[in-house]
Amino acid sequence: MIENIRVALLGIRSNKLRSALTMLGITIGVAAVIVLVSLGQAVDNFVREQFLGIGTNLLIVFPQADDEGVLQRLTSAEADALADSFHVPDALYVMPQRQVTTNIKYGDREINGRILGVTEVYLQIRNRFLVDGQFFTREDLEGQARVAYIGQEMARRLFPDSVYPVGQSIRIGNVAFRIAGILNEVGGAGFGPNDDDVLVAPLTTVQTRLAPDRDQVGRRVLTNILVQARDAEGVQIVAGQIRETIREVREINFRDEDNFQIFSQTDLLDSLGNITGLLTVFLAVIAGISLIVGGIGIMNIMLVTVTERTREIGLRKAVGAQKQDILFQFLVEAISISGVGGALGILIATLGTALLGFALPDLEASVQLSSIVLATAISVAIGVFFGIYPANRAASLNPIDALRYE
């Protein structure tokens, strides 16, 4: 084995340019596969972190159109029923939300911003905290307090650098509010609204002063309802309890379909994971085409090598080399070429992934050990697969004919 590897490496060194061009396809293919797989894993992790950052064990109830195409909006009736522990005993928190987009003014500055009406459990259910100020209480919610809590991106847009937001008076639409706190920075998810570019206020205040619309029977409407299960194992149980409760409140016949939607983080993450997984596989397959091209290059150069060394093969057989010895020798040479090319590909991929991580720090891209093992296995497999035919051809040469070959 050692002697065969030594001879193979000598063969690579004696034909440096030819060997380098032969290895180039393997090097590019291995590097591309590793970089794309690492990028796919980084995107998948990024998506999961962003969704888990909005809270854990969450379920979100959305309105949905009925069979006639009429949107059945959520109301306070559904929210009150879900907040009743008799109906949904496994829920930790229930938070109705009302979202509006309107103008926000401070002095001469005016921006268009997203306003989110929430309850006093907003910080707990969304895993957030205030960097300054104190969040409103149940009494403030019931009293329709005109206090607001601003995200840091919106604060940068609305206030000059010399003005600290807390304590400042602003106007949302035509209603005066006081900034009572600043939310922590969570970063733009890139999937959905930026939670740093938001203004949070008590739900009752938003419903009465900014979005006073009601349904046909006079109930306050909601954008959605967030429900947090006590643990990950109880998410599906809570989903069932939510479904039964809303169907009961809306008096939906058992034969009829739901006119609302329930999404859980698990469902969303599984769906997005499937999408990113398929995308990663698709990109890796495209990159893998260059590996096939590189393997064909190895087969081609090994056939040329067999032709060039026909007399050497005949001489080896004449002094006692068996068929398996010749087969093993040329197979090792093919594996050595693909192995060296794969090693260079791993090195280039490591550097490329590091540069990618530097350029896109939010993705935290890195080469996984599994990717290196996979690339090494692929390199060896290509050497075996595309080297077996030339090696077998060399081993099958008649020694007398080989010695006479010019």
Q: What is the pLDDT of residue 190?
A: 44
265: its two tokens: 């983080």
Parallel/antiparallel/unpaired status of strands 58-65 and 260-264: antiparallel
Question: What is d(CA 21, CA 33) in angstroms, rounded to the nearest whole number?
Answer: 19
Percent of the chain with pLDDT over 90: 35
**364 has pLDDT over 80:** no
Can you name the residues that pair with 262 across neighbouring β-strands? 61
Question: What is d(CA 111, CA 103) in angstroms, rounded to the nearest whole number?
Answer: 6
**290 has pLDDT over 50:** yes
**322 has pLDDT over 70:** yes
**359 has pLDDT over 90:** no
3-state helix, strand, coil in the chain (%, to 5): 55, 20, 25
pLDDT by residue (tens digit) across 87-103?
A: 999 999 999 999 999 99
SS3 99: strand
Question: What is d(CA 149, CA 133) in angstroms, rounded to the nearest whole number?
Answer: 9
Q: What is the pLDDT of residue 54?
A: 66
pLDDT by residue (tens digit) across 116-127?
A: 999 999 999 988
